[in-house]
Structure formats: structure tokens, C-alpha cells
């Protein structure tokens, strides 16, 4: 029997269900691997070993009584921005030191209802602001394919954990690419659902009109399975869509014959890594060989996406992060009076990138600048959505790179925020438009770094993009590769 930590989420659930392995044995396999390897990778901030084992024993008892659930007895990882009852939830920030979640986020509730076992908390960029996980105040997370390179962000801990077989799947969040970009850099699958598909209740907000919870997994079928578990209407989130549960996993396996896939010219730009472009264009040709029709299209709005995103997102962040003031929860730095206390707390608690975005967001919302920046950005955002709507009248889905480059070295972009922001140039449009996208492996550089293909679909188009992703994935072997981590040493 193969090593249990190499199994997919679906395979793990099946083997536990069939009694080939107990949930406790599977959980112990992951806990042992985390103990041996995660000191080198730094994906986990907290591991609830005792709690996981207790839940595994309970899952084994449930199975022995004949109970069934989609993920019964299977461990999963949780990004540090989601509340898990009794666990720390720091959002990678010093300002939430000491805070413990009093409840489960809806997505976590639904994982538990499906029988899954939350294993631990995964590292991230502070308040989900970043593309490399270098902005975490807690620790450094390394890319399992090259420990001198970043795992992407902000869900870098989730992507690194899945890529290194430290959990079979994990939850992340995506505000401008924070699931898809680290999935691309770490060689796993990352799905950003349509805005409103997954409840945001219990998610610590960065930008409320952009944030969406989604899965990071080892293959496309697992992404569909996890999406089916966590999606659906939630009365506690007014933005969640009133739709019946999905069964995306059962609809995979169809051919691409008859599908029209758009290839937007604006996503193949000057400055993109040539190895990335070569791999993505080869993936496009593979989709064509599988029966899809490739349709050249234009999305001229793309050139305005980064500027629009960093106005809308920072404006919402400046409002959302106002609640972190040292009064109600988290860190408090004493001051001479309440105003001084708030100022000192926020100065000490927030990192440089969070401060940068709060200042920018406050500026664009300020009197005299609101119309010039924020209102104009909202108009461009609607234009971006209209461009996608027009494209999807002639295409079922779009094919693009996920990231313009493979994983970069630590410190390579921290001194130039604009270069860091451009890491998300191919992903932010999906969030601005509220549509769906998935990233999956489509090749490797000569240095052995993963490259990601992005499939973008219309609102509620998850079935279409997963159909494309699954057909491509199953016709290649990229998703089967694993980083060569030396057991016990954590060296690549």
C-alpha cells in the first residue's frame, strides 16, 4: 500500500470508508510527517494533535456503526483567517495575539458535518495582504519545491502544506488571487468559487466584496469534492447565494469536444517568464487536441485591473480593519488616553504592508478624493465585469497563465511593492468580476519549479471550468509530481 500521506482527499475518504485504514492511522501518518518536515517548511502555525486524534477515534466509532459522510475521518488544514472554535486566529498578525475563536466559521462547520477533521492552522500573509507569505508576522513558510523560494500568498501555508503532503487538502481564501497564485507556485490545484457560492461567515474580512473561501487540493476532483462540501446558502451571510447544493465532483470526466475556450491576448504580456508562456501555450494546444475549439479574444479592460483592485481592496480594508483597536480583543498597548492607546496598538500590531494598504484605502475614501479614485474604480470594475460577460457569450471558459512567473526567491520583491502587486496581474480580474477560476499544474521550469494554468469561467460556471481542468489534468502527468523532500531533514 502506498504512503497514506500521498493519497488524494477522495482516495483517503474511500480507504477510510472501506476500512483499509482507520482515521486514527491516517491522522497519525500526517501528524508524524508534520513533526518530521514542517520545521523546514513552516506551513503550520498550530497543530491540534490531541484534538485531531480524539476526532479520529470518534470517526472510527461512527464508521463502525455504519455511519457515512463524504469526508468521514479525513484530516484537513485551515488557513489562519478562518475561525475554528477554541483555536487561535491571528490572521498572521501581531494585533490578534491571544485571540481565540469563540465559534466555527460556516465553512469549518460544513467540513465537520462532512466528517472532516481540522488538523491545524496554516500560515498566511498578514490579513491576507500579500503574494508571498513573507508578510506573516508569525514565521516564514517555504516552497516545498525549493526552500529558498516563496510559496506564494496569501494562502501560502495552505498551498505549501498540500504540496508537501502535510495534509490532503486545505481551505484558503482568495481576494485577488490568494488561492490560485500559491497553488500555481506550489504545484497544486486552487479553486476560487463564484462570489457568494461559499459563506464568508467566520472569515476575518480583508475586502468584503472580493473575499471568497475555496479549496487547495492535490487534484481537480478533490477541489470539486471540497467545493461541494463547503458551498451553499447560509442565512448568516447576506451575500451568500440562495442556490441548491452542488455535485461538481460527480460531473467530472466529460470530454472537451464542443467546448469553446477563449485565449485573451492581454494575458500574454511583455515581461512574463518565457518558460511560463511556453508551458501555458502547450497546455492550450493540449486542450485543443482534447477536442476544444480555441477562440482568440480581447479583454482590453485587463490593463486597468491592478490599479482598480488596489483602490477597491484597500478602501474596504481600511474600513474592515478599523475594528482592530485594542479595545475588544487581541493585542492592547497601553496609552495615556483611549486615542493614544488605539494609535499605539495599531502601530505595534500591524505590519508594514497592512499599514500601507490602510493608508492607501483611507486616502482614496477621503473627502476630495472619493470621486477621483474610489468612485472611478467602481465604474472600471463594472466595465471589467461587462468585458467578461461579453467574452462568455462566445466562450465557455478562458485559458490564461495563473502567475507571470514561477516562485521567486525570498526578499526578491519585498523592496518593490509594485512588482509584488504585479504577481496577481492575471488573477485580480476574477475577483473584481465576482466570477470563478481554478489553477492547476501545467508544467515545470528547467529549475524544477511548478507552472500554473488558470481556467476562468462565468459566474456559477464552476462545472465548466472544472470540466476543462479535469480533462486537461487527466491527459497529463504534471499533477502526479511531488517535491523531493528528504524525510527527517526537510531538505529539498
Phi/psi region, residue 363 (left: phi>0; alpha: psi -120 to 50; beta: rest), is alpha
Give the separation between CA 260 and CA 346, rounded to whole angstroms: 50
Q: How far is CA 198 from CA 95, 137, 202, 389, in A?
A: 27, 28, 11, 22
Task: Please pick, among 22, 79, 93, 136, the residue that the annotation labels catalytic.
Answer: 79
Is residue 428 within 8 Å of 309, Cβ to Cβ? yes
The pLDDT tens digits for 199-230 are: 999 999 999 999 999 999 999 999 999 999 99
Is residue 220 within 8 Å of 486, Cβ to Cβ? no
pLDDT for the residue numbered 1: 63
pLDDT for the residue numbered 275: 98
Strand-pair category, 436-444 with 293-297: unpaired
Residues 439-461, mean pLDDT to the nearest whole number = 98
Structural domains in the chain, sorted by start: 10-300+385-480 (3.90.1300.10)
pLDDT above 80 (res 5): yes
Residue 298 annotated as catalytic: no
Residues 411-435, mean pLDDT to the nearest whole number = 92
Give the separation between CA 43 and CA 48, rounded to whole angstroms: 14
pLDDT above 50 (res 393): yes
Query: Residue 40 in 3-state DSSP?
Result: helix
The pLDDT tens digits for 324-366 are: 999 988 999 999 999 999 999 999 999 999 999 999 999 999 9
Average pLDDT, the chain: 96
Do you find a cis peptide bond into 479, omega within 30 degrees of 0?
no
Is residue 78 within 8 Å of 43, Cβ to Cβ? no
Is residue 420 within 8 Å of 403, Cβ to Cβ? no
Is residue 424 within 8 Å of 289, Cβ to Cβ? no
Query: Residue 203 in 3-state DSSP?
Result: strand
Which of these, 154, 150, 151, 118, lies nearest to 136 by C-alpha position? 154
Strand-pair category, 450-457 with 397-401: antiparallel
Residues 65-78, mean pLDDT to the nearest whole number = 97
C-alpha cell at 391: 467574452
Helix (H) or strand (E) holding 480: none
Residues 404-419, mean pLDDT to the nearest whole number = 92
Task: Please pick, among 154, 231, 318, 403, the residue that the annotation labels catalytic.
Answer: 154
Fill in the DSSP letter of residue 321: G
Residue 79 annotated as catalytic: yes
Cell numbers 484597500 label which residue? 314
Query: Would the pTM of this model clear 0.85, i.e. be above it?
Result: yes
Query: Residue 9 in 3-state DSSP?
Result: helix
The pLDDT tens digits for 37-68 are: 999 999 999 999 999 999 999 999 999 999 99
pLDDT for the residue numbered 415: 85
Is residue 165 within 8 Å of 6, Cβ to Cβ? yes
The pLDDT tens digits for 135-182 are: 999 999 999 999 999 999 999 999 999 999 999 999 999 999 999 999
What values do phi and psi take at 367, rounded to 5? -60, 130
pLDDT band at 94 (very low <50, low <70, confident <90, very high): very high
Helix (H) or strand (E) holding 444: strand 436-444
Q: What is the CA 419 to chain-centroid distance, rounded? A: 20
Is residue 397 within 8 Å of 464, Cβ to Cβ? yes
Is residue 217 within 8 Å of 160, Cβ to Cβ? no
pLDDT above 80 (res 490): no
Report CA torsion sign: 268, 273, 279, 282: positive
DSSP string, 73-132: T-EEEEETTB--TTSB--TT-GGGTT-B-SS--HHHHHHHHTT-EEEEEE--SGGG--SS
Give the separation between CA 395 and CA 372, rounded to whole angstroms: 34
Give the separation between CA 248 and CA 256, rounded to whole angstroms: 16
Give the separation between CA 260 and CA 411, rounded to whole angstroms: 41
Amino acid at each position: 500500500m502506498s504512503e497514506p500521506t500521498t493519497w488524494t482527499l477522495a482516495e483517503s475518504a474511500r480507504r477510510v470508508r472501506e476500512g483499509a485504514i482507520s482515521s486514527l492511522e491516517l491522522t497519525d501518518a500526517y501528524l508524524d510527517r508534520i513533526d518530521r518536515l514542517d520545521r523546514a517548511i513552516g506551513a503550520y502555525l498550530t497543530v491540534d494533535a490531541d484534538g485531531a486524534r480524539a476526532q479520529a477515534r470518534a470517526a472510527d466509532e461512527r464508521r463502525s456503526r455504519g455511519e457515512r459522510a463524504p469526508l468521514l475521518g479525513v484530516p484537513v488544514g485551515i488557513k489562519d483567517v478562518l475561525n475554528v472554535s477554541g483555536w487561535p486566529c491571528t490572521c498572521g498578525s501581531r494585533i490578534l495575539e491571544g485571540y481565540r475563536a469563540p465559534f466555527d466559521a460556516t465553512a469549518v462547520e460544513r467540513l465537520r458535518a462532512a466528517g472532516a477533521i481540522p488538523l491545524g492552522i496554516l500560515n498566511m500573509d498578514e490579513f491576507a495582504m500579500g503574494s508571498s507569505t513573507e508578510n506573516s508576522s508569525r514565521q516564514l513558510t517555504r516552497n516545498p519545491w525549493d526552500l529558498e523560494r516563496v510559496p506564494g500568498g496569501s494562502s501560502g501555508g495552505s498551498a505549501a502544506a498540500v504540496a508537501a503532503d502535510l495534509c490532503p487538502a486545505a481551505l484558503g481564501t482568495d481576494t485577488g488571487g490568494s488561492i490560485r497564485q500559491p497553488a500555481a507556485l506550489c504545484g497544486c490545484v486552487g479553486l476560487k468559487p463564484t462570489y457568494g457560492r461559499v459563506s464568508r461567515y467566520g472569515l476575518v474580512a480583508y475586502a468584503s466584496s472580493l473575499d471568497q473561501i475555496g479549496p487547495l487540493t492535490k487534484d481537480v476532483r478533490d477541489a470539486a469534492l471540497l467545493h461541494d462540501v463547503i458551498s451553499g446558502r447560509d442565512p448568516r451571510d447576506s451575500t451568500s447565494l440562495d442556490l441548491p447544493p452542488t455535485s461538481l465532483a460527480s460531473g467530472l470526466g466529460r470530454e472537451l469536444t464542443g467546448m469553446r475556450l477563449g485565449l485573451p491576448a492581454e494575458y500574454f504580456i511583455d515581461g512574463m517568464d518565457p518558460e511560463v508562456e511556453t508551458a501555458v501555450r502547450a497546455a492550450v494546444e493540449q486542450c485543443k487536441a482534447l477536442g476544444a475549439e480555441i477562440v482568440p479574444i480581447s479583454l482590453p479592460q485587463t490593463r486597468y485591473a491592478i490599479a482598480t483592485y488596489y483602490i477597491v481592496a484597500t478602501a474596504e480594508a481600511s474600513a474592515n480593519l478599523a475594528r482592530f483597536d485594542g479595545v475588544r480583543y487581541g493585542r492592547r498597548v497601553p496609552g495615556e488616553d483611549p486615542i493614544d492607546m488605539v494609535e499605539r496598538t495599531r502601530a505595534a500590531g500591524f505590519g508594514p504592508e497592512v499599514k500601507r494598504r490602510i493608508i492607501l484605502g483611507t486616502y482614496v475614501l477621503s473627502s476630495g478624493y472619493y470621486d477621483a479614485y474610489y468612485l472611478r474604480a467602481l465604474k472600471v470594475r463594472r466595465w471589467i465585469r461587462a468585458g467578461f460577460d461579453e467574452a462568455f457569450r462566445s466562450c465557455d471558459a478562458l485559458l490564461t497563465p495563473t502567475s507571470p512567473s514561477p516562485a521567486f526567491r525570498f526578499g526578491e520583491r519585498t523592496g518593490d511593492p509594485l512588482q509584488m502587486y504585479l504577481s496577481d496581474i492575471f488573477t485580480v480580474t476574477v475577483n473584481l468580476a465576482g466570477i470563478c477560476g481554478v489553477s492547476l499544474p501545467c508544467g515545470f521550469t528547467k529549475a524544477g519549479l511548478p507552472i500554473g494554468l488558470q481556467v476562468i469561467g462565468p459566474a456559477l460556471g464552476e462545472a465548466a471550468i472544472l470540466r476543462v481542468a479535469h480533462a486537461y489534468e487527466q491527459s497529463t502527468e504534471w499533477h502526479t509530481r511531488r517535491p523531493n523532500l528528504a524525510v527527517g531533514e526537510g531538505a529539498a
